[in-house]
Structure 1
Amino acid sequence: MTSAQIDAYLHRLGSERPQRPTSDALRALHLSHLRTIPFENLSVHLGEEITLEEQRLLDKVTGARRGGFCYELNGAFGTLLAALGYQVELLAGRVYADEGRLGIPYDHLALRVRTMEADTWLADVGFGAHSHYPLDCAERGEQDDPGGRFQVVEAGPDAAGVRSGDLDVLWDGRPQYRLETRPRALGDFAAGAWWHSTSPTSHFTRSLVCSRLTEDGGRVTLSGRKLKTTVVDGAQESRELETDEEVLTAYRDLFGIELSRVPTVRNPD
């Protein structure tokens, strides 16, 4: 990653270049990322190719001023953090479904980040609504965050009583995803990204989403034509956008995304 690419990324975040790879700087970058770069799956429904290569991810985030889903957002953010001097490892996760069943292998990508103070953090700017700040990887107790109460715990034993060493990430007591602790390469996630962008059973092919954290700690989300705003106390307001012009204006004004046409759900065959 060149110095110009670093500057372009930080400009998108509205952040100054940190002088050193500290924990405080990581927290600030993490929060800025969630506020400025949306979690979105528009490429799936616009017929755009999703390629997990660092240069392509940077071009999308900084050049096209777009967002993405976990592979793209955490992939790009990890590239930036490594260029700033952090030690970054990509971790593979499997997301819990509502009934407690785990998703496919390489279902999710998260980051393990080591700072100059030798602190190790779980950074995740690609899960949609989640913690505002990185989570302490070594802490097994509850961690309070503006987004809720989180916990990183060792996963329980399998049916044979064997512990894998995987970690479960909990939000307000409910498991969100399970992480393997072995570091992976970005290309390892290509099959998961392909499945999520093509499978008729993936929620990314069955719905449209564009969402980001707001400055006051709430969230604004555009799902198809439904615009929903959530404030800090949990209160929500939603309304249907009636015209294509309204939808395109919302993408531009609320998420900084310029589109020439309104994306519509493209259900795979």
Structure 2
Amino acid sequence: MPAELDHDTVTAYLRRIGAAGPAGPTLAVLRDLHARHLRTVPFENLSIHLGEPITLDPAALADKIIRRRRGGFCYELNGLFGMLLAALGFRVTRLAARTIGADGTLGIPFDHLVLQVELDERWLVDVGFGRHSTHPVGRDRTGPQDDPDGTFLVQDAGAGEVDVLRDGEPQYRLEPRPRVLADFRAGCWWHQSSPESHFTHGPTCSMYTAGGRVTISGDRLIRTTGADRTETVLAGPAELRAAYRSEFGFELDRVPVLANRA
């Protein structure tokens, strides 16, 4: 995948996630960037409920995530992160996946964007799935892989596809064919507009913290640390905007409201 970010944008991106200057493409660097991204860039669908169109144009993604310090969902987060990795010298391939429901039902084609990075072995890189792995997952490892956020398993699904499981629960089925970012436009459009997409059911914004997560879902501020969970109702737009500012570090000129799904 060719690099699509210039030097100044790469520098600003690394500053955004609190990373040091450019370093060689090693597993240690990849693991560090992956974890830092999860701790600084939220997984969120606010654009859908703010009436902001979601585009996969690299300049628009950089403006949203780097300059405005926002987050996004998989196409945005993994899309831009893949460009950063490529600019730093990593061999990156975009792959399509379909989420797997609790009943085993597969999501739509191009349901999810995952990155594959080739070093001495292939690694699955995913900073755009919400709660997932803190570090990259070995694509070709057959046994369980322990991670700070669970135990992961990559399991053969036939026809060159693999299922990625977390703590024994299937998360998504990954295709082997390399893709370009434009391939995900239809999935991106569906997820921001279809009443069948869970992203249109309400605004949410979530990010890793030390030992847990912080989430704003609708008007509720939710903190989890280990097995402990607290939930606070935020009273009105002023409290909501202040919570987005203090918890996630970005300003909203208005609060997100439920998108029209009629």
- Report the equivalent of 1:147: 149
Pair 1:210 & 2:205 matched:
yes
2:254 to 239, 261, 265: 261
The TM-score, its normalising length taken from structure 2, stands at 0.96
Pair 1:220 & 2:224 matched:
no
Q: CA deviation at 1:267?
A: 2.7
- Cα deviation, 1:85-109, whole Å, max 9, x if unaligned, reads 0000001000012221000000000
1:177 counterpart SS class: strand
- Report the equivalent of 2:112: 108
Pair 1:71 & 2:75 matched:
yes
2:235 to 229, 232, 242: 242
Q: Which amino acid aligns with 2:65?
A: V
- Report the equivalent of 2:131: 129
Q: CA deviation at 1:234?
A: 2.2
Question: Distance between the aligned counterparts of 2:114 and 2:81, measured in 1?
Answer: 10
Runs of 4+ in 1 over 4 A off after TM superposition: none
Question: Distance between the aligned counterparts of 2:211 and 2:83, measured in 1?
Answer: 26
Q: Which amino acid aligns with 1:221?
A: T
Q: Which amino acid aligns with 1:90?
A: R
- Report the equivalent of 1:159: none
Question: Distance between the aligned counterparts of 2:57 and 2:177, measured in 1?
Answer: 20
Q: Is the 8 A contact 1:146 1:217 kept in 2?
A: no
- Cα deviation, 1:130-176, whole Å, max 9, x if unaligned, reads 10000011101100000011111111xxxxxxx31101000000100
Q: How many residues align?
A: 258
Q: CA deviation at 1:119?
A: 2.7
- Report the equivalent of 2:51: 47
Q: CA RMSD in A?
A: 0.9
Q: CA deviation at 1:112?
A: 0.1
Q: Which amino acid aligns with 1:205?
A: T
Question: Distance between the aligned counterparts of 1:200 and 1:189, measured in 2?
Answer: 19
Q: CA deviation at 1:128?
A: 0.3
Runs of 5+ unmatched residues, structure 2: none
Aligned sequence identity (%)? 53
The TM-score, its normalising length taken from structure 1, stands at 0.94
Q: CA deviation at 1:82?
A: 0.2
1:196 counterpart SS class: helix
Q: Is the 8 A contact 1:23 1:119 kept in 2?
A: no
1:219 counterpart SS class: strand
